[in-house]
Chains A and B, each alone.
Chain A
Amino acid sequence: MTDTTITLDGGRTASAAPAARPQRRRFRFGAWMGLLPFLGFLFLFLLLPTYGVVTKAFSNESGGFTTSAISDVISNERKAFYGSMKVSFVTALLGVVLGTMLAYAAATATRPKWLRSLVSAFSGVAANMGGVVLAFLFITLLGRQGLGTKLVREGLGYDLYGTSWFDISSFWGWVTVYMYFQIPLMVLVTLPAIDGLKPAWREASSNLGGTTWTYWRRVGLPVLAPSMLGGFLLLFANAFSAYATVYALNTQANLMPVKISAGLRNDVGGRSPAPYALATCMIVVIAVAMGGYLLLRKRAERWRAT
C-alpha cells in the first residue's frame, strides 16, 4: 500500500515514505491498548495500595484529612527513623567501598578464567538473598553460641560478647549481616561500570606520562563516580527497606520497617494511622534515593557509550 506520487516534472518528486505516516497516526491510540493489561495490573496492585497508604496516613481516626498523623509519627518514632538512617548509611558506605574493591578484583582477574563468572553468579544469588535464612546463617556464625564467636574467643582471645558494642541482635550485628547482600548488590551494579573502563584509557594515560595514581585520579575514579554514587543510593534504599533479616535477628529492633509491620499487626481494625504515616515517610525516603540512583545511572551509561 505504497503511494508513489507520479508527477510530470520528470519524476523528480518521488514519495514513498510519507505513505507510512497516515497509517501510524490512525493506530496510535490502539497501539497503547496493548499496554493495558500491564498498566491495569500495576494500577490495581501497586498504585491502589500506595494510594491506600498515603490517604490513611493523612487521615485521622474518623476519616478526615489531617497532617497530624505524620507529625506525630515524626516525633514519636524519631529513634526508629534515625536507626534506619544509620543502618542504611553505614551499610551503604561499607557496601560501596568493599563492593567496588571486590568488583575490581573480579573484573581484572585473569587467572583462573572462571573467577569472574563465579563472583558474578554468586552475587546475583546473594544480592537477592535475605530474609530469615540469612539471619539464621549468621546466628550460627556470630551469635552468642556461634562458631565464629567461639573461634575468635579461643583463637584470638577476643570475646565479642564481652564487649559493649557487638551483638548479633543489635546495630553492628545487623550491619555485618546486611553486608552479605549489600556487597554482592554493589558488585552486580559496579561490574558493568568497571568493564566500561577501557584498557586503552589506562594505556593512553601511561603513554602520556601518567602513573597509576594519575590515571585513577584523573580518569578512572571520575568515570566510576556516578556508578559508585548511584550504587550508594541503591544500597541505601535497599537497606532502608529491608525487613525480614533484621526482624529475624531481633523482633524488637528499633527500625522503621519493624515498627510498621508491628503496628499493622497490632491494629487489626485498621483505625490507627500511625503505621501508614510511617510507611509514607519510608516511601518518600526511598523514592528520593531511587530517583537519584536512576539519574546517576543514566549519566554513567552515557560515558560508557564512547
Chain B
Amino acid sequence: MSNLAFNSIRKTFGPTVALQGLDLDVRDGELISLLGPSGCGKTTALRIAAGFEAADSGSVVVADENISNLPAHKRNMGMVFQSYSLFPNLDVASNVEYGLRTRKVDKTERRKRVADILELVELTDQAIKYPHQLSGGQQQRVALARALAIQPSVLLLDEPLSALDAKVRSSLRDEIRRIQTELGITTLFVTHDQEEALGISDRIGVMSQGSLEQLGTPAEIYGDPANAFVARFIGSMNEIPATVVDARAVRVLEVVVPTTRSHDFAAGERINLLVRPEDTSIVAEGDSGLSGTVVSQTFQGSSTDVGVRLAVLDVLISVHVVGSTEGVLRAGDQVTVAVDGARAVFEPAS
C-alpha cells in the first residue's frame, strides 16, 4: 500500500514562487501526470518528492509515512531523468545493478534481478554495452530498468521522453505504461506534452504557475475543463465572442446558444466562448448558425480541420469534420456553422 501524497507543499526560489501550497494524492498503483508549461512547478514538485529539493513548508507522505525529512538516498523511490543520467563508465548491467549494490544485495540475487528487469524492458542482449553505444530510446529504457530494479515504492519520471525522436517517443510511452500497469507501481509522471499525458495517465494534474488548476481523468480534463487555462492547454479551442443571456444560454450575434455548465457571469456580460472544434459543425444554409467563409481545409486522415472566418465577428475558427471535404467545400465558400455549447468554457472578454 504505497501512495504518494503532497500536503500543502510550498516552495519559493528567491522571489519566484514555484509551488503555492500543492495538495495532491497519488493513489496506490496509480499513474498521475503532472502537465503544464515550463515554470509551472511540476518538476519542482517531483524533485521535492525525490528529495533533491526541500519544501519551505508542507509535507510529503509515502505509504502513510512522512518522509519530508528523509534525505534523498534513503527514500525508496526510483527516478528516471530527462536525459544523460546513465553512468557512462559502467555498462548496462552495472548501471542497472547500481541501486542493488548500495542496498548490499548479494551477487546471485543481483544477477537474477538485473536479468529479469532487462527482460522486462527488452534489452537483454545489450547488457554489456556502454551507454554511449546505445540510442536515446535504449538509454531511457536502461534508465527505467535501473529505477525499477530496486523495487521502489514510487516511480518518478521527469519528462523522460522529451529528448527523444517522435517515433521512439510514442512507442516508449506505451511501453512505460505497460510496465507500470504490469508492476502496479505508484507513478508520478511529469510532462509538458498533453498527448503523452492524455495517453498514459489514470489521472492528470494540470498545473500553472505553481498551482494545480485541475485534477481529473483524461476524459474529464478534456471534456470538462475547470477553467479557460486548462481548456486552452489541452486540445485546441475556438474562441468566439459572445454575450451572456442567462445561466443557460449565451448569444453570439443574433444566434442563441444553449449552455449547460454553470458560471458566475451576469446577464449582458461580454465573454469569450471557448468551444472545441468537434463541438462545431457545418450545417445546411437555412439552419440556425453563424455565417462564415471557408478559408482553409487541412486533411488529417480520418478528419478534416476546416478553417472558417466568421462574418461580422471576423474571428477564425476551426471546425472538425469527419472524413474528407475534398470536392465538397472550396476556399471562399459561404457556410453556416452551428455551435454546441454543452461543453463550452467561459472566459471574460479581454
Q: Do chains A and B touch in the complex (CB under 8 A)?
A: yes
Q: Which residues of A contact B (CB under 8 A)?
A: 198, 200-201, 203-211, 214, 218-219, 222-223, 302-306
Contacts of B75 in A (CB 8 A): 207
Q: Is there an interface contact between B131 and A209, defined as CB atoms closer than 8 Å? A: no
Contacts of B130 in A (CB 8 A): 306
B99 on interface, CB distance cutoff 8 Å: yes
* Complex Cα gap A161–B85 (Å): 54
B88 on interface, CB distance cutoff 8 Å: yes
Type the 1/0 row for B94-128, where 1 means its CB is closer than 8 Å to any CB of A.
00001100110000000000000000000000000
Residues A208 and B99 in contact in the complex (CB < 8 Å), given A203-B79, A306-B84: yes
Pick from B74, B79, B98, B103 the residue with the most CB of A within 10 Å.
Answer: B98
Residues A210 and B98 in contact in the complex (CB < 8 Å), given A198-B85, A201-B85, A303-B89: yes
Given contacts A204-B81, A207-B50, A208-B99, 19 further A-B contacts (CB under 8 A): A200-B84, A204-B85, A204-B87, A206-B72, A206-B73, A207-B51, A207-B77, A207-B147, A208-B73, A208-B150, A209-B99, A209-B102, A209-B103, A209-B150, A222-B89, A223-B87, A223-B88, A302-B132, A303-B89
Distance (whole angstroms) from the CB of A217 to the closest CB of chain B = 11
* Complex Cα gap A210–B83 (Å): 20
Contacts of B146 in A (CB 8 A): 204, 208
Pick from A203, A209, A223 the residue with the most CB of B within 10 Å.
Answer: A209
* Complex Cα gap A209–B86 (Å): 15
Distance (whole angstroms) from the CB of A224 to the closest CB of chain B = 10
Contacts of B143 in A (CB 8 A): 204
Which residue of B is nearest A196, CB measured? Answer: B88
For the complex of A and B, the 7 pairs showing the least CB-CB separation, nearest first, are: A208-B99, A209-B102, A200-B85, A306-B132, A303-B88, A222-B89, A206-B72
Contacts of B79 in A (CB 8 A): 203-204, 207
Contacts of A208 in B (CB 8 A): 73, 78, 98-99, 102, 146-147, 150
Q: Is there an interface contact between B102 and A203, defined as CB atoms closer than 8 Å? A: no
Contacts of A223 in B (CB 8 A): 87-89
* Complex Cα gap A199–B150 (Å): 21
6 contacts between A and B (CB under 8 A): A203-B50, A208-B99, A208-B150, A209-B73, A209-B103, A214-B102
Q: Is there an interface contact between A207 and B72, defined as CB atoms closer than 8 Å? A: yes
Residues A205 and B98 in contact in the complex (CB < 8 Å), given A200-B84, A218-B87: yes
* Complex Cα gap A68–B11 (Å): 77
Q: Is there an interface contact between B88 and A306, defined as CB atoms closer than 8 Å? A: yes
Contacts of B50 in A (CB 8 A): 203, 207
Which residue of B is nearest A223, CB measured? Answer: B89
* Complex Cα gap A201–B77 (Å): 16
Q: Is there an interface contact between A303 and B132, defined as CB atoms closer than 8 Å? A: yes
